[in-house]
A and B are shown apart, each in its own frame.
Chain A
Amino acid sequence: MTELIDFLSNVGLKHYLIVAAILFSLGIYIVLTRRNAISILLGVELILNSAGLNYVAFSRFSSGNVDGQIYTIFIIMLAAAEAAIGLAIVLAIYQIFHTIDVEAAETLKD
């Protein structure tokens, strides 16, 4: 019990990493299982943000400089651009298939 309280009260690197890992897994799960294209994009965002969290954590606790945080700002920027493109692709798919269910876009199947 005390170890748990201690673990929960002194927030260190481990805590952040665990949170990032959980977020990453959740993101993977969403990407792999959702049928909605926008949901998949949300999952991708989660994955990217978890990676950014990792960077920040390592930068705060293991390295004296702020490199990690700069990387995270880049990641957020990239995530935004990629989300824009992803939405454009979703729009194009909608125009062709009239749905954003990814299982509908299977014309490449033989």
Chain B
Amino acid sequence: MDQPLQTDYLRWIVLLPLLGAALNGLFGVRIQERFGKKVVAFIACAPVVVAFLLSFTAFMTLLSLPADKRFLIDRFYTWIPLDTFNIDVAFWVDPLSVIMILVVSGIGGLIHFYSIGYMHEDRSLWRYFAYLNLFTFSMLLLVTADNMLLMFVGWEGVGLCSWALIGFWYTDHTNTRAGNKAFIVNRVGDFGFILGLFLLYWSLSDQGHATLAFREIDQYVPLLANMELWGVGVATLITLFLFVGATGKSAQIPLYVWLPDAMQGPTPVSALIHAATMVTAGAYMIARLNKLFSMAPATLEVIAFIGAATALFAATIAITQTDIKRVLAYSTISQLGYMFLAMGVGAYSAGVFHLFTHAFFKACLFLGSGSIIHGLQGEQDMRKMGGLRTHMPATFWTFTVGVLAIAGTPFLAGFFSKDAILWQAYSSAHGGPMLWGVGVFVAGLTAFYMFRQYFLVFFGPCRADHHVQEHIHESPKVMTYPLWILAVGSVLAGYLGLPEFVGGSHLDHWLEPIIHGHGDAHGHHSLTLELSLMGTSILAAGLGVLIAAVLYFYRTPSPDRMGDSANFLSRVLYNKYYIDEVYQFVFVGGTLVLARVGAAFDRYVIDTIVDGTAKITVVVSWFNGLFDKYIVDMLVNAVANVTFAIGNNFRRLQTGNINTYLYVVIGVVVFMLLFQLS
């Protein structure tokens, strides 16, 4: 591999949002007070816009280079110098990451602008934008990192900002609980990621090439082909651990439970973090390390299975939900399942393609729902909506485009990307009809629940509260313009990945230097098969739309037959299969039991020992006291008494009588004479 092109400006793509976050975070209160919210918003939006322009510049630079030399690097500084290699803070732009930075800065920028309108009334606007910028920084760091450790820094950073933004309105404990849930569940996944990271480093250094930089990992990973640990190939182990990390970040089974609760946060946050960017980090990671993953077919099977299962699972829940954002949340989980299904069958490029198109229409849908919520003064229950198409035309039309796109309407973005995945699921060497069948069924469900939402919100009589109805209004331009842009993107984004028979996927060719071996699309090249599969999925989607229309368009839906009150099956689905309750009982409850056991141990065992020691000390000192009182004091007193007695006796010499003294003097002289002691 040739040396990548050195540049100086890539760092600003990542660092400018950090600067914005620092300014707003440290001085935001003051700025907002003295200069007003407009300045705060400017400080937040400007870096993202500039980052987007720089990303576009990088993209143009890549275009100008020959296909096998499309790598840009910006070495900021050496973070951890080691003997064998250095871990640098360096930013790496290649065909894969340039897509990501364009999506993050582009759609992120649109969402920043949208937020100006949506969060306009909020007192802590500076804090919101500070976190939003910090998130943008972390995500950009994640996708441009040139080594795994730096990527992990970004990985953690987005988790942190997600927590902060979900719990943004922290005075309500529902929000803070949701934020904590997101962070803690993510952390479980991160543990897997760390184990994978360690194992990767260890096994590479075992082969003599200790490194964590991606281009070097790609170079030396084939050396791990025959290495085993505890009877399993290391590649499989590493990728399994890394996939655990991905399930946490990208909300797959079993670590998806945080995403629906994350809807507690402001809607632009849901759009940015939980639709377009953070949740795609897992998919990006797998795409980045596709060479490693291709070496572990067992893991790929697991990934495909979990991806398909998650897609199905989430879609079934989505069809019963009544909160407008919850539907979209489960839809996100389901679509992410599609991405992982793609990765699992080796169609990394298709997965990235779906990531790209999904970012557009999901952001469009989320921002649209935000517009609705805004127009209805905070109402999120679809049972209390209806007939909004006349009141909010811009939202209506953009939402229509989004719904059509996600349902897989031909010629819109979602169609091409979803179809690419379904085709790969069927025909790739790792795939099979079962996976494809699940995918088609989920496509049908997707169409159903999206149109269900569509009809409930925009058609029929308006079921909102009276005073809400009076004030329904379309959102300001700063909110609807991004919607239009995203709607256009939802249509056009698909044309990057046209199927083979109409010209081939530009995206596939673009990603060729990164993605090594994409499925077997060139192998099973039967046009009729492909067309019939395509037709089946269109049929399934159409069926879904039809059923939704019958249930919700041609009949007035009765609010009390939806939600928790309906029949048994609906209730199970509405309550998300009670998984949250199970998790709460098993994991949270289990931890609490452990904590109580620990507390009991501490109180009854440890404290007894400590108190016992104290008591023994008291007894010993009591003995000491006795000893001191009776023996030592006795001796001391005896000495004193003897001295006193002697003194007393000697006192008698002092008679005060002169005659006595004279007697003594003479007596002593005589004594001396007699005994000749002179």
Chain A residues in contact with chain B, CB under 8 A? 28, 31-33, 35, 37, 40, 102-103, 105-110
Q: Which residues of chain B have C-beta atoms less than 8 A from A110's C-beta?
A: 651, 654
B62–chain A nearest beta-carbon distance, Å = 118
Contact call A107/B659, Cβ cutoff below 8 A: no
The docked-state distance in angstroms from the alpha carbon of A28 to that of B673 is 15
Pair A106/B666 contact, Cβ less than 8 Å: no
| Contact call A103/B666, Cβ cutoff below 8 A | no
Closest B residue to A33 by beta carbon equals B659
Q: Decide yes or no whether B82 CB sits under 8 A from chain A.
A: no
Q: Give the residues in chain A near B3, CB-CB below 8 Å.
A: none
Inter-subunit contact B654/A102 (CB<8 Å) = no
Bound: A34/B94 CA distance, A = 134
| A-B CB proximity, top 4 nearest | A108-B656, A109-B656, A106-B656, A102-B658
Q: Decide if B657 touches A109 in the complex (CB within 8 Å).
A: yes
The contact of B666 among A32, A102, A105, A109, by CB within 8 Å, is: A32
Residues of B within 8 A of A (CB): 651, 654-659, 662-663, 666
List residues of chain B with CB within 8 A of the CB of A109. 654-657
The CB with the most chain B CB atoms within 10 A, among A33, A106, A107, is that of A106
**Nearest Cβ in chain B — how far from A33, in angstroms?**
8
Chain A's closest residue to B669 (CB) is: A28
**Residue ID in chain A nearest B652 by CB atoms:** A110
A-B contact list, 10 entries, CB within 8 Å: A28-B666, A32-B659, A37-B658, A40-B658, A102-B659, A103-B657, A105-B656, A107-B656, A108-B655, A109-B656
Q: Apart from A40-B662, A103-B659, what are 4 other A-B pairs with CB-CB below 8 Å?
A: A103-B657, A106-B655, A106-B657, A109-B657
Contacts of B656 in A (CB 8 A): 105-109
Q: In the bound complex, how far is the Cα of B660 from the Cα of A105, in angstroms?
A: 12
Task: Write the chain A residue with the least CB distance to B661.
Answer: A102
Q: In whole Å, how far is B571's beta carbon from the nearest beta carbon of chain A? A: 109
Bound CA–CA A98/B631 (angstroms) = 55
Closest partner residue, chain A, to B654 (CB atom):
A108
Cα–Cα, bound, A103→B656 (Å): 9
Chain A residues with CB below 8 A from B659, complex form: 32-33, 35, 102-103
With contacts A31-B666, A32-B663, A32-B666 taken as known, whether A105 is within 8 angstroms of B658 at the C-beta atoms is yes
How far, in angstroms, from A82 to B655 measured CA to CA in the complex?
Answer: 24
A96 CB, min distance to chain B CBs, angstroms: 13
Nearest chain B CB to A87 CB, angstrom units? 15
In the complex, A108 Cα to B655 Cα: how many Å?
Answer: 6
Query: Which A-chain residue is minimally distant from B659 (CB atoms)?
Result: A102
CB distance from B653 to the nearest CB of A (A): 10
A103 to B663, CA, bound (A): 13
A102 to B663, CA, bound (A): 13
**Which A residues are CB-close (under 8 A) to B655?**
106, 108-109
Q: Write out the residue numbers on chain B whose beta carbons fall within 8 Å of the beta carbon of A105.
A: 656, 658
CB distance from A17 to the nearest CB of B (A): 15
Considering the chains assembled together, what is the distance between the CA atoms of A102 and B661 in angstroms?
A: 11
Distance of A84 from chain B, by nearest CB (Å)? 19
| Chain A residue at minimal CB-CB distance from B651 | A110
Query: Bound state CA distance, A108 and B660, in angstroms?
Result: 12
> Could you tell me the distance between the alpha carbons of A63 and B181 in the complex, rounded to whole angstroms?
128
With CB as the reference atom, state the residue of chain A lying closest to B670: A28
B-chain residues with CB within 8 Å of residue A31 when the two chains form the complex = 662, 666
Complex contacts, B666 vs chain A, CB 8 Å: 28, 31-32
